[in-house]
Amino acid sequence: MEASDHMARSDFGRVQKLPSGKFRARYQYLGSLHLAPHTYLTQTDARAWLVAEKRLISSDSWTPPAVRAAAAKRAKATEAQNIFRTYATTWLDGRHDLRANTHAAYTLALKRHLLPTFGDLAIDAITTADVRAWFNSYGQKTPTARARAYQVLASIMNHAVDNDVIGKSPCRIKGGGIAQVKHEPEPLTLAELFALANAMPAKHYALTLLCGLGGLRFGEAVALRRRDIDLRAGTVRIARGATRTNGVKSVGAPKTNAGKRTISVPTVVIDALADHLKTVASAADSLVFPADNGEVLAPSALYGSKPRIEKRGRKKYAKNGYGFYRARVEIGRPAFHWHDLRHTAASLGDQAEATPKEMQHRLGHTTPTMALRYQHSTAERDKAVADRLQAQIDAMAKVITTAP
């Protein structure tokens, strides 16, 4: 159906009644026809738009209605994009640099901790007071989850600053991304480390010494291949790490460049590795510390079972447990964590006069403030650290053998 021919004329523009009963306004200016961005329910509303347009022309502040409509549409779209839920999701989708387990952790932090509070707010509407109130609402609960969520929130806000969405980040809580440590690591002495290794199942003896003297992370150690071990040079090359995300194991590059490294290890570790390699597959790409099924070793298979007392009716039975859980009890360190072997390696390295720079290299650890400072550790100095560690081991062995 065609629009009605009825036109309401005025001294400026025209109003046309459409078959739908609504009204359309338009006018000629500077040789072009300009339409209202939408139709109106009443003729009065359509005329009001014409009056407003004429006022803009008279005040010399006029721009074409189509240009203004497009600008408004863009502003609306930008506003929608800058809602925290949309902005944060887009930011995370664009983080292709994240490892799978890190991406999963960020996703969980967003879903569980950030979106319920900030999801429907505009990025530029979130204040420091809002962030502090959210942070304090946790009290003493889940400090690690809160710290991780704060790190994610701070990263999102810094991204918004870098893209001129906001002028300053509202995340200004000092130490907000650092969780209060519930477990204070207590490194093993050299004697305790060997006691722990001897208490472990034989297949994990070399693994225990390697982590306790070389400082490898669990994921780095279980991802080692035979080609990463150079028995003649006395070195171990760390080039990858094993992770578990949503129940799925994967092996990939270390999280940072500092994680890729080659370290020297004491002779006792090389000897243990040499004996251990006789018990596993001989192919260069074979895992050094595989699980019983040949796949990447899982933490649960290493940790084993804790010693415990079981009740069966009226009787009680002592279960000795097995694996790392049993070994740590046997040496009198029931609260010791496997990750504390890294602290043990750092402590023993300090006793071997390793500099912070050298230990930074050996542990493959980096922070924004330390990355440049500790990136020039040399192979010669690293070998010297391993030699001094071996000297301590030899000295300990001598004391043991000459004791009355």
Integer Cα distance of 367 and 259 in angstroms: 12
Is the same domain home to 242 and 348? yes
Q: pLDDT at position 114, please?
A: 95
In contact, 263 and 235? CB cutoff 8 Å:
yes
Residue range of the domain that includes 369: 190-402
Integer Cα distance of 242 and 295 in angstroms: 11
Is the same domain home to 117 and 235? no
pLDDT > 90: what percent of the chain? 58
Q: Is residue 178 part of a domain?
A: no
- Model pTM above 0.85: no
Least confident of 81-85, 94-98, 245-249: 245-249
Q: Is residue 56 part of a domain?
A: yes
Q: What band does 135 get if pLDDT is binned at 50, 70 and 90? A: very high
Q: What band does 148 get if pLDDT is binned at 50, 70 and 90? A: very high
Mean pLDDT of the 329-336 span: 94
Mean pLDDT of the 79-100 span: 86
Is the same domain home to 156 and 219? no
Is the same domain home to 284 and 357? yes
Catalytic residue of the set 113, 217, 261, 361: 217
C-beta pairs of 289-294 under 8 Å, 24+ apart in sequence: 289/203, 289/204, 289/206, 289/207, 289/221, 289/222, 289/224
Residue 4: pLDDT above 50? no
Least confident of 2-11, 219-228, 264-273, 355-364: 2-11
Q: Is residue 330 part of a domain?
A: yes
Q: pLDDT at position 371, please?
A: 31
Integer Cα distance of 348 and 363 in angstroms: 12
Active-site residue flag, 365: yes
Active-site residue flag, 225: no
Is the same domain home to 218 and 287? yes
Q: What band does 2 get if pLDDT is binned at 50, 70 and 90? A: very low
Mean pLDDT of the 74-79 span: 70
Is the same domain home to 29 and 87? no
Is the same domain home to 393 and 292? yes
Q: Is residue 25 part of a domain?
A: yes
Question: Of the candidates 49, 80, 111, which is a domain's last residue?
Answer: 80
Beta pairing class for 248-252 and 241-245: antiparallel
Place of tokens 């390295």: 349
Q: What band does 401 get if pLDDT is binned at 50, 70 and 90? A: low
Q: pLDDT at position 72, please?
A: 80
Catalytic residue of the set 55, 227, 308, 339: 339
Q: Is residue 180 part of a domain?
A: no
Is the same domain home to 269 and 340? yes
CA distances from 25 to 13, 22, 33, 354 (A): 7, 10, 11, 82
Is the same domain home to 144 and 261? no
Q: pLDDT at position 22, please?
A: 95
Is the same domain home to 86 and 65? no
Burial class (CB in 10 A: 0-12, 13-18, 19+), 143: middle
Mean pLDDT of the 122-149 span: 90
Question: Of the candidates 59, 80, 101, which is a domain's last residue?
Answer: 80
Q: pLDDT at position 370, please?
A: 39
Active-site residue flag, 303: no
Q: Is residue 63 part of a domain?
A: yes
Mean pLDDT of the 138-153 span: 89
Q: pLDDT at position 368, please?
A: 33
In contact, 207 and 224? CB cutoff 8 Å:
no
Catalytic residue of the set 148, 159, 276, 342: 342
Question: Of the candidates 80, 99, 114, which is a domain's last residue?
Answer: 80
Mean pLDDT of the 75-100 span: 83
Is the same domain home to 246 and 327? yes
- CB under 8 Å to 341, separation ≥6 — which residues? 188, 193, 208, 211, 212, 215
Is the same domain home to 229 and 143? no
Least confident of 25-29, 138-142, 348-352, 378-382: 378-382
Per-residue pLDDT of 151-202, as tens digits, reads 999 999 999 999 998 999 999 999 888 876 666 778 899 999 999 999 999 9
Number of domains comprising the chain: 3
Active-site residue flag, 325: no
Integer Cα distance of 237 and 220 in angstroms: 10
Active-site residue flag, 183: no
In contact, 152 and 109? CB cutoff 8 Å:
yes
Tell me how far the alpha carbon of residue 312 is from its chain's centroid.
45
Q: Is residue 2 part of a domain?
A: no
Q: What band does 101 get if pLDDT is binned at 50, 70 and 90? A: confident
Of the ranges 100-104, 245-249, 329-333, the best mean pLDDT one: 329-333
Tell which residue, 219, 260, 208, 213, has the closest CA to residue 238. 260
Q: pLDDT at position 132, please?
A: 95
CATH number where 115 lies: 1.10.150
Burial class (CB in 10 A: 0-12, 13-18, 19+), 340: buried
Q: What band does 306 get if pLDDT is binned at 50, 70 and 90? A: confident
